[in-house]
Each structure stands twice: as C-alpha cells, then as structure tokens.
Amino acid sequence: MEGIVKGLIDLIFPPLCAFCGIPLAEDDEGEICPGCLRTIRFASPPICPKCGLPFPMEAGEDHFCGVCIQRQWHFGSARALGLYEGTMRDAIHLLKYGGKAFLAKPLVGLLDRGYPFIDYGSYDLLVPVPLHPKRLRERGFNQALLLGRAVGRREGVSCTGFVLKKARWSAPQIHLSPKEREANVKGSFAVVDRGRVRGKRVLLIDDVMTTGSTVNECARELLKAGAKEVDIFTLARAV
Ligand SMILES: [Zn+2]
Ligand SMILES: [Zn+2]
C-alpha cells in the first residue's frame, strides 16, 4: 500500500534534481540528474596521500605532491570528494552565497559515488570549520556545520559546532597568495571546549580546501588543545 501511495505521489510530483530542478527519471539514483552528475569530477587515485590532491593521470601510484614534499602540515591527511568545478562548484556556491541550505544533504549524498577513502566510523568527532560571528549573522548558517551534520547522521558519528570558534576576523582570502593566507588565518581560531577534543580523533569538515591554510590552522589549534589526531574532509578541492 505504501508503495502504491509513493508511486502515485511520484507520478503527480516527480522528484526533481536537487541541483538543476529537472524531473528525475525512475532509474536515476539519488537526488541528482545524469547531466549534473557528468560535470562532477570525483577525486580518484592516484592522489597525494597527505593532502589528497588528485593527479591528472589516470593510472599510477599515489605519491606526494610538490607542496607536501616541502611543507609540514599539522593535520594527518586531507581528502576531498571531488574537484571544485562544474555542478560541485555551482552547488557549493548556491549553498554558501544563495542561502540554499537544503543543498547540504544532496551534496553529502554524493559520498556514495565518490572513491571510498574515509573510514568515518573511526573518528570520535566531526568538527566543522567555524565562521566568524559577523559572517554567521550575514549568512544565517554555517555551511560546514550543515555538511558535518549531514555526514554525521549518515555515518553515525557525532558532529559539534561548539568546540572550535573563529575568534578573530580575517580578511577574505580569495586574492591572497598561499603565504599571505597562512599569515591571515594565524591565531584566528580558538578551541572553546578542550574536554570535548582531548585524546580524540577528530575529522575536520569544510566545503572547499584551496591552499589548506585554514584547515591547517584549525588542526593546529585542535592538536594544541589535546586532540590525538586531526584529519580533514572537504567536499571539494580547488586546484
Ligand atoms: Zn541536475
Ligand atoms: Zn599534497
């Protein structure tokens, strides 16, 4: 009976692609249409085992990228689901700047299609990269928290937006060089609940990783507060 009712509802109101709004065909899986899906490039091996950067070649061993050969990161490893382009970029843009908070769930639904690289269940806690209170007021929500909660619900790991805060305002990073970005975020995050992170394996969540300076600074603070290990997961990697 339930199946018949659902069938009728789908007939009258066919499910729509969460990203572009066209009606989905019966055999489309998830909440995304084939057209939107085609524009998403999921990260797949070979990748840099440290920062997760996917290499353009299709085959070969994982190996350290040029940046990770030279630099010491605070986080253990970073992984992104896909590249910051196509539908992935458009949807993240709408989520952040278009107020489309509902997109967090279908974006996290894409985890099913990505390369399986994270054992979420092995983490004690998911921690989203926080927004400064002024930015939070402007936007109305923290997209990283929405993503973290969606990942947490899916994977059965708790997610909290109350352990890490953005204590100091930092200028938008978009036109800054990697070195300038590092200086810009230095000391701008603070752990407000040390008890919650002490001895814990933490997975830090954000929407996009660009140079890695923001997530690295968050990892530094969490480790300073006693976290045992901090890894990074972002939906997208800007290259
Ligand atoms: Zn679509
Ligand atoms: Zn790397």
Same domain, 1 and 111: no
Same domain, 25 and 110: no
**In contact, 125 and 157? CB cutoff 8 Å:** yes
For range 87-109, the mean pLDDT: 94
Give me ligand 1 centre to Cα 20, in Å.
4
Give me ligand 1 centre to Cα 21, in Å.
6
Q: What is the pLDDT of residues 29-78, one digit of tens each?
A: 778 999 999 999 999 999 999 999 999 887 899 999 999 999 999 999 99
Same domain, 14 and 126: no
pLDDT score recorded for residue 74: 97
CATH number for position 143? 3.40.50
H-only helix segments in the chain: 2-12, 34-38, 66-70, 86-97, 104-109, 133-139, 143-155, 178-185, 194-197, 213-224
Q: What is the pLDDT of residues 138-187, one digit of tens each?
A: 999 999 999 999 999 999 999 999 999 999 888 777 788 888 888 888 99
Instruction: Indicate if the pLDDT at residue 228 is higher than 70.
Output: yes
Same domain, 71 and 184: yes
Domain count, the chain: 2
**Proximal ligand: closest to the CA of 209:** 2
pLDDT more than 70, % of the chain: 97
Give me ligand 2 centre to Cα 116, in Å.
18
What is residue 179's three-state secondary structure?
helix
Same domain, 63 and 77: yes
Name which residue leads in pLDDT, 127 or 58: 127
pLDDT score recorded for residue 1: 66
pLDDT score recorded for residue 56: 87
pLDDT score recorded for residue 177: 85
Protein residues within 5 Å, CB atom, of ion ligand 2: 48, 50-51, 53, 65, 68
Instruction: Indicate if the pLDDT at residue 10 is higher than 80.
Output: no
pLDDT score recorded for residue 172: 79
Give me ligand 2 centre to Cα 46, in Å.
11
Q: What is the pLDDT of residues 207-220, one digit of tens each?
A: 999 999 999 999 99
Chain-centroid distance of CA 121 in Å reads 16
For residue 10, give its domain range.
Answer: 1-38
Same domain, 103 and 10: no
- For every residue of 2-47, which 3-state class applies, written as one string? HHHHHHHHHHHCCCECCCCCCECCCCCCCCCCHHHHHCCCECCCCE
**Proximal ligand: closest to the CA of 211:** 2
Same domain, 27 and 140: no
pLDDT score recorded for residue 28: 76
Same domain, 169 and 75: yes
Give me ligand 2 centre to Cα 52, in Å.
6
pLDDT score recorded for residue 3: 73
Same domain, 55 and 159: yes
Instruction: Indicate if the pLDDT at residue 94 is higher than 90.
Output: yes
Same domain, 154 and 208: yes
Give me ligand 2 centre to Cα 122, in Å.
23
pLDDT score recorded for residue 61: 93
Chain mean pLDDT for the chain: 92
CA dist 179 and 184 (Å) reads: 9
**In contact, 157 and 151? CB cutoff 8 Å:** yes
Phi and psi at 82, nearest 5°, equal -155, 180
Give me ligand 2 centre to Cα 33, in Å.
32
**In contact, 52 and 208? CB cutoff 8 Å:** no
Same domain, 24 and 72: no
Same domain, 76 and 130: yes
